[in-house]
Amino acid sequence: MLEMTAPPSPTTTRELTYAEALRECLRQTMSADPRVFLIGEDIGVYGGAFGVSAGLLAEFGEERVIDTPISEAGIAGACIGAALTGMRPVGEIQFMDFVTLAMEQLVLQAAKVRFMFGGKASVPMVLRMPGGSGTGAAAQHSESLENWFVHVPGLKVVMPSNAYDAKGLLKAAIDDDNPVIFIEHKLLYKTKGHVPEALYSVPLGQTNVVRTGKHVTVVATSIMVSRALAAADELAKEGIELEVLDPRTLRPLDDAPIIESVKKTGRALVVHEAVEMGGFGGEIVARIAASEAFDYLEAPIKRLAGADIPIPYNRELEYHTVPQVENIVREARKLAKGEY
């Protein structure tokens, strides 16, 4: 069953940026629930490296907008301990790359506590972090490490691709009783979209069919969703229709709409920024190949992912490291025309 999970009909056409949408969600959830607090590096006066928490310190004070020393394991541990004892922390890792310094706490503690204790504790925490390249920040500030977390039972992994989802998914993540890795994209922070003012949830684990089409299914994550949509616009001029799906939540993964879509189109292209090997695309391809959609395939399932290198500094090199609109256009066209 294919369903458009479009925003509820707006009473206004109010637009916010992705960063503003996140901030509005934080402000509204903090106002509504005294258990919610923010903790991270430079999130107070500085407002966060990308400005997401700007102004929240003034509004909520130092006790609920906590600037930390440069201590990523400490931030993760602080979230876990607070979550175990009745709070609902929202931590921020300044760049996703730095989460490598907190992996033990996230993978061996946050993800496992509940199971190890026989289902008797819960860790309702969110750890936000910006991933992705495109800002010239080079190899140690541009990682896309989502699949590391996807591989860990006990964690949930969320990657909003637009402002509307950013607000709604963050609300759902804060309400969730499990540790949620919430991966934002640096290049999306300034992108605008319709965002209702009233607080709303976009449930975790619901793939969004962003655009319908009959020729090629494109499954894209994070910033690749908007690039896939731009590619769809291009190809529409040639009569090629892309159906663009955004899983939004990588774990849990709602694969049913993906499989349904491939049954309809017979062709699938998976696009993400992270490197191909061991990337999330492999999971999507495997789910399609192992499903009833296999019998409907008219072409090999293709992946379009980051080059198998660290992110380079030079602007042109960086540009060519990750999928761009023209790459998606080219790959999807080849699939549609049987030129693979």
Q: Which residues contact other proteins (rule: CB under 8 A)?
A: 37, 39, 63-64, 66, 68-69, 71, 73-74, 76-87, 89, 104-105, 108-109, 113-122, 124, 153-154, 156, 176-178
- Return the number of the residue (52 or 111) whose C-beta is nearest other proteins: 111
CB of 146 to other proteins, least distance (A): 18
What are 307's two structure tokens?
A: 């080059």
Q: Specify the residue, 78 or 322, whose C-beta has the smaller distance to other proteins.
A: 78
- The residue (of 6 and 121) whose beta carbon lies closer to other proteins is 121
Nearer to other proteins, 71 or 140 (CB): 71
Pick left, alpha or beta for residue 228 (phi over 0 → left; psi -120 to 50 → alpha; otherwise beta). alpha
Do 206 and 5 meet the contact criterion of CB atoms below 8 Å apart? Answer: yes
As a whole number of angstroms, the distance between CA 43 and CA 91 comes to: 10
Instruction: Give the nearest distance from C-beta 95 to other proteins in angstroms.
Output: 18
* Residue 177 to residue 126: CA distance in whole angstroms: 10
Q: What is the 3-state secondary structure (H, E, C) of 219-271?
A: EECCHHHHHHHHHHHHHHCCCCCEEEEECCEEECCCCHHHHHHHHHHCCEEEE
Active site residues: 72, 141
Q: Which residue's CB is nearer to other proteins, number 7 or number 74? A: 74
Does residue 204 come out as left (phi exceeding 0), alpha (psi in the -120 to 50 range) or beta?
beta
Alpha-carbon distance 45 to 259, whole Å? 46
DSSP string covering 275-322: ESTT-HHHHHHHHHHTSGGGGG-SS--EEEEE-SSPPPSSHHHHHHHS
- Of the pair 62, 238, the CB lying nearest other proteins is at 62
Smallest gap from residue 173 Cβ to other proteins (A): 13
User: Distance (Å, rounded) from C-alpha 191 to C-alpha 16?
Assistant: 8
In the complex, least distance from residue 98 CB atom to other proteins, rounded to whole angstroms: 13
How far apart CA 98 and CA 58 sit, in angstroms, is: 27
Least gap, CB of 155 to other proteins (angstroms):
9
- Supply the Cα-derived Rg of the chain in whole angstroms: 20
CA–CA separation, 137 and 124 (whole Å): 32
In angstroms, what is the minimal distance from the CB of 137 to other proteins? 24
